[in-house]
Structure 1
Amino acid sequence: MCFAVRKEVFVVEQGVPEDLEYDAYDDVAVHVLAVRDDGVPLGAGRLLHGAAAAGKTGGEPGVGSLGRLAVVPAARGLGVGVALVRAVEDAARARGLTAVRLGAQTHALGFYERLGYEAYGPEFPDAGIPHRAMRRSL
């Protein structure tokens, strides 16, 4: 179900090529999923940690990588994104991590800032979409 959410948001809505959306990290990531009471998926995200996170975190020990956070259009504004970020952070803490980094689409910077993330470094393209690196200590 996580992949279905990601396909709806990233591939269909945002035009990210499918071969860029899914990667080898999916096999080793911790995936989080938000669903309605009737089981309909509302949002998804993932945490990379350990060796899988090294490329995303510059090899910094104790730092995980939050990524592929997606909320279906009908569920936006309902707190689903916040719940997913907190679930990823909880999964990071449970694995002994002390910080989380992410690459935020620039239009979402305010969302992550409200959750305690700080942007750093220059803007960069990812799948043709402008992003900024962000980090939060846990």
Structure 2
Amino acid sequence: MDSQVTTITTDEGRRAAFDIRLRVFVAEQGVPEEIELDEHDATAAHFLAEAGGRPVGTARMLRRGGVGVLGRLAVLPEGRGSGLGAALVRAVEEHARREGLAAVELHAQTSARGFYERLGYAAFGEEDEEAGIPHVWMRKDLASR
């Protein structure tokens, strides 16, 4: 299946990304919609993964000082296991590098910790909960990679 990841620049792309997030986080995982779609969406950089010409994954990056914060990484069931999640992470990292940021951090669901570790992220701090789901903060320095 032909796939690609792009930075979202259109309202149509944003709607597709939000639809994916609602399907994955709200419908599948039970996260309240008012938590999932938040005030940070207006200022974040958004990314869309397509496979076979259809939107199947998304992520966003916020800027916090000299660090990019990857969040809202979601891939629809039909795109899972295809490498699109890793491609989205790489797109966020490249965007952060172009912005001159030193690192990327993320608040990972603990069930996804191994996925991020395979991509070079290391956990820091204690586990906590977000929307009733266990999470851990993770970080990858970009300067050394």
In the superposition, the TM-score normalised over structure 2's length comes to 0.86
2:130 is the alignment partner of 1:126: yes
- Rounded to whole Å, the distance in 2 between the matches of 1:30 and 1:92 is 10
2:84 is the alignment partner of 1:70: no
Q: Following superposition of structure 1 onto structure 2, how do residues 36-75 of structure 1 map, counting pairs within 5 Å?
A: 36-38=51-53, 40-49=54-63, 53=64, 61-75=65-79
- Rounded to whole Å, the distance in 2 between the matches of 1:135 and 1:115 is 10
User: 1:74 Cα shift?
Assistant: 1.0
- Rounded to whole Å, the distance in 2 between the matches of 1:65 and 1:80 is 19
Match of 1:7 in 2: 22
- Rounded to whole Å, the distance in 2 between the matches of 1:46 and 1:14 is 18
List per-residue Cα deviations over 1:52-90 (Å, max 9, x = no partner). Answer: x3xxxxxxx311100000010111100000000000001
Letter of the aligned partner of 1:28 in structure 2? Answer: T
Structure 1 residue ranges, 4+ long, deviating more than 6 angstroms after superposition: none
Letter of the aligned partner of 1:119 in structure 2? Answer: A
- Rounded to whole Å, the distance in 2 between the matches of 1:110 and 1:36 is 24
**Which consecutive unaligned segments of at least 5 residues does structure 1 have?**
54-60
- Rounded to whole Å, the distance in 2 between the matches of 1:117 and 1:36 is 26
Letter of the aligned partner of 2:61 in structure 1? Answer: L
Match 1:113 to one of 106, 111, 117: 117
Match of 1:26 in 2: 41
Match of 1:58 in 2: none
User: 1:37 Cα shift?
Assistant: 3.3
Query: Pairwise CA RMSD of aligned residues?
Result: 0.7
Say which SS state the counterpart of residue 12 (structure 1) adopts. Answer: helix
Q: How many residues align?
A: 127
User: 1:27 Cα shift?
Assistant: 0.4
List per-residue Cα deviations over 1:15-56 (Å, max 9, x = no partner). Answer: 000000011110000000001232x1110000001xxx3xxx
Report the structure, 1 or 2, having the larger strand content: 2
